[in-house]
Structures are given as structure tokens and as C-alpha cells.
Structure 1
Amino acid sequence: MESNTFATSAYIANSPKTAFNFLCRLETLDEWTINCRMLEKVDDNTWIGTCAGYQSNFYYHLQKIENSLFMGIEWYCGFTPDNYFHWYPVLLFPTNYIEPESKEKGVYFHWISFVDPKRRTPMIMEGIRTVHICESRSLKAILERNEGIKEAAQGEYTVDSDTIYIDAPIELALEYLADIRNIENWSHMLRAHGEITHQSGNFLDEYNQTVKITFRTHTLNDYYLIEQDYFYPDYQFLQRCPTLLIPCSRAFNDPSARGFILHRIAFWKVGKTNRHGKLQMEDYGAENMNIKRLLEAKAGNFETFARGMSYIPAVA
């Protein structure tokens, strides 16, 4: 996994709109984070506040993500305004995004954290997972308590992800990964079965079961989402994998940072083992390594793959 990227997820038993409205107010960080306290309002989307991880005050800035698929926000943090070296996208998946016929009420919260390796401290890296899991639990409790719920609600799904760094131009990657005709090159368990177009086609999986695959590409602010849908018509089973392509220059607020972060999100039914499609996160991880190898070779870069899955800043 990419060592500068951390993802935390939670099921929250209230509406996506309620969660979105709550998160859009930076001052609510006072309620659910361990020690982010907003001290001075700069404008409607910017505050100066405390930050326990750096034992110093930070500027906090918020930007909304709004589209027809799901809602979300982006937090930006740094010591000076407009120079934010922490970037946190948050996606709020409605239950019927994961399963179109779902009657479950609630939202799946997915919080991605990018930490610039040039500026991070050992304590930040050692503590971020513990802190963000605890804070996500606190956020869930507050929003569910506001709905009159008296214990932690159990969602029908869990959310997981696999992340890798790819040292290739994001434009090259977007063109390649958005075209379903390339999927046989990087997904070793799928074989074309009939006519394949740029965005959809029928394939056979590793058990010769028919799977119809559909890709759709969207722009989210200054990065990209490729929706990957895998539908098994004989079993009426849909597996969704929203895939983010994020320039390292954005993730780490460094114009000199090359390449991009590939972040693929998976949804797993609680208490049920899949019998079709991806069966575990390692299936996504293997594909991600293949994608990295192929795209870096296409870019004429044959050195970075051996260095591992993580972004490493260039030595000045």
C-alpha cells in the first residue's frame, strides 16, 4: 500500500445530506476531532484552529464536492493560507450507490488522508491511523445520536481500498484506464467475450462466468473518478469499484511531484463471502501493481517500479 495515503471509513445511520451539511461547517470539527478547535473565522470556508499533531495552529479550508453520484468535501490544512500541505478528500456514498436496489438508510463515509513526506513528522505517521479511526467513530456517534440512535448502527457493507503510486503522466493514465478495451492487459482474470467498446463490454471471468463491465469517467475538482461496474447477469450481482486518479502535485501540494496516486475503493457485504467478481482486496492490489508496471513502462520509466508502491520525493 502507498505509505503516504491513509483511508478511514464508517457507516453512519443518517442521510447523506445530513452528513454533508454537518461536515460542510468547519466549526463542527470541534465536536468530533481529538483536538482540532476552530479559533478564528477567516471567511465562510476558512478558519484558524489548533492542530494537536503539529502542536501549532493551522489554517483549515474546505471545498465541496458535489455531483450526481455522491456528495463530499475536501479539507485543506497548512501553516499559511493557500499553502496547504495536508489534503483530505471525504466521499459520502449513499447506500443505493453501492447497491442500486438497497433499502438501507444511511451513508458510507470514506475519508482519504494524504501526508506530504517532506513535511510529516514521525508522530504524524505513527498516529494517523489510530487518530482517524477514533475520530471517524466519534463523527458516527454524534450524527447517529442526533437521530435518536442509542448504540452504534451496523451497516450492511464495509468499505476498503487499495492505493498505489504510479510514476507516469496522469493524462496518459486517464486515457488508458478509462478505455475498457485495455482491461485484459491489467486484469489477469478477465477475457473479452464479444464486442467491446470504449466504455462497456462482455467478458468471461476466471470461472467462465459472463460479466458485463461498464466504465464511466468524471472530473472531481482537479482530479478524476473512473466508475468501474462489474455486473454478473446470471446472478444479478453488481460489484462497484470507484477509482480515483489524483495528481501527486495535488495530493502533496508540491508542483514538482511527479505522477499520480491510484486509489480504488471496494464495498464488501458484511457476513457474506463473495462467490463472483473480486473476492478480497488482494485482487485489486494485484491489478494495481500491474497497472503501475504497464503505465510506467508506457511513460518510458523503468526505474520507479522497483522502488515500491509509495511516492518518494525527488532529492533536490
Structure 2
Amino acid sequence: MDFLDRLGLEHPVVQAGMGGGVATAELAGAVSAAGGLGTIATMPSATFGAQLAAARRRADGRPVAANLLVPFARPAHLRACVQAGAALVVFHGGIGRRWFSDLREAGVLAFSTVGSVEQARAALAAGADGLVVQGAEAGGHLMGDEPLRTLLPRVRGLGTFPVLAAGGVADYRDVVAVLDAGADAAVAGTRFLMTSESRAHPLYKQRVQEATRTVRTMLFGVGWPLAHRVVPNAATDRWLNEAGEAPLWLRGVGRASAPLARVLPLRAGNAMTSRQRVGVPLFGPALPLVGMPAASVDWTALYAGETVRRIDDIVSVRDAVERLTSRSGPSRPSS
């Protein structure tokens, strides 16, 4: 039984696990209701399970996935995944091996996001049921620096297991390309960020609409210094050089603060975000959401993939799924 049949998906399209509050039940439930696989991303455990359950209700019983950032994952998150009936849990920012056996006993698929062949081998050896292969062109936090077009075939060659492909997926042509390269489904992030159901701040969406480039950096790494791809803003203009590098001392702050992710609750990030300013370079991984001050788009992370060059409108989730699955759906030519 292949991946689509096992989960009962109509379309080979998965919404990326966009954390920080962007992907709540409204977005994830709408993706699943449209025949794809919606994903509830990591959030404080007190609300995580409720959002998963709400997404399943919005999806009319269709499957919903969960995305867990390994440094922030807690036992309560895993219990919520099982109790709410998540069909798939994707671990990001680490393998997640400590959780695999519990999920397998509960009948829940467990995947790991990988950005290299070495990471893929390690995740499979640890017992992952499948992999999300993430190319360097993806938005958000990056697991490697190899383009999807070369990484995907190399990981596919490791054996027979489900593979989802992330990075550079904006429309139907991209989905077809990754399926032809051996993926079971395509993962789209920026396309679903730019929907009316996404809780990204309206000015965040506007910046993505207007963007002509992205930056790979580690600037927004206090508490979790994994490289990330963002749309430029005042903070990146102030603190990054032309190569996207922050000053050496600032990168050191990010590395030194990495252990905080394992001990501080997720809600601590919200308090930190409210105190961030462009001129004070202590930038955590939070992103701007609906209801935050408009100025926050200048000192928070505007995560987006290289597909910003081909996505310049805000549509409904149903329209986004149509563009990703229908040859007749509107799309912009590649740049």
C-alpha cells in the first residue's frame, strides 16, 4: 500500500509544518478538507492537542498531520498526537528517535525531515517510517544545503520507503517534477503561507508578495540556531553582510543559546518577541502573526522559500490546492 492509499489522500500534496502559530486548525483543516494533508505545527502543548482535534473536525474526518520541532517536543505533544488521531508525525530539527516506538505502537506514521543523504541514513536506521527530503530552496528552518533536484534522487536511491519532497513547490509543475523524481507527495510551505486561512501577519504576506529574493541566514537563531531562509527586512538589512552572515559574535550568541530550546517553554518565545527591536540583535525564531504590531515584521523572521519569485497573490486554501494539483490551475512562469 502506497503513502496516499495508507492515509486516504486524494492529492499528493502536503502542507508544510509552519510553526509559530501560522498553521492552526483553520489552515490545516482546510488543506485536508480539500484532499491534501494539512499539518498542525509545534505550539505550546496546552493548545496543540485542541488544534489537532479542531483541524480533524474541519477536515470532515480526513487525515491531519503534526509537525514537531525536536528541540521543543515534549511528551505532552506526543500524547496529543495519539489522542487526537494524527495520521502522521513529522519530526524536524532532529531525528526524533525517542518517539518512534510509541507512535508505531499507536499506529501513527513517524517521518523525519532530512537535508542530506547522511541524515537520511541516520533517520532510517533509527526506525523512521519515511522521510521528508528538504531542499535548500525551502523556507523556514533548513536541514541541509543541497538543492532538492539533486538530493531527492540520492535519497530515493537508499531503498523503498515513503518520501515527501519539500522545497521549491509553488504549482502543479513542481508537484509533477518531484513525483517524477520518485517522491510520493510534494510538501508546500510558502504557497500555503500565502492563503487567507494562514495566520501570518498581513504585512508579512505583503512582504512575501513583493519579495524578489530570499536570504539564508542564522540571524533569527537565539534559542534555536538552525539555518533558515527568510525574506529580507530591516533586521537583515541592519545585521547581515552580502553573504547573509551576521557578525561572528552574534552567531556565537545563537550557538550558546541553543540549549534553551530544551528547557524553556514555547510561550517564552512570545515574551522575547515583544521585546525585540531592530537595533538590539537578539532575534529568536518567532514570526509575525495576525494581531501583532505592524512594526514586528521588521524584527521577526519572515520565513519563505525561493518560490517567492513565483507566488505573488493571496488565495484560499482550496484555490492553493487546485493550483498544486490541476494542470489548468493558474501559475506564473518560472523566473
The structure with more radius of gyration: 1
TM-score of the aligned structures, taking structure 2 as reference length: 0.26
TM-score of the aligned structures, taking structure 1 as reference length: 0.27
Q: Which has the higher strand share?
A: 1
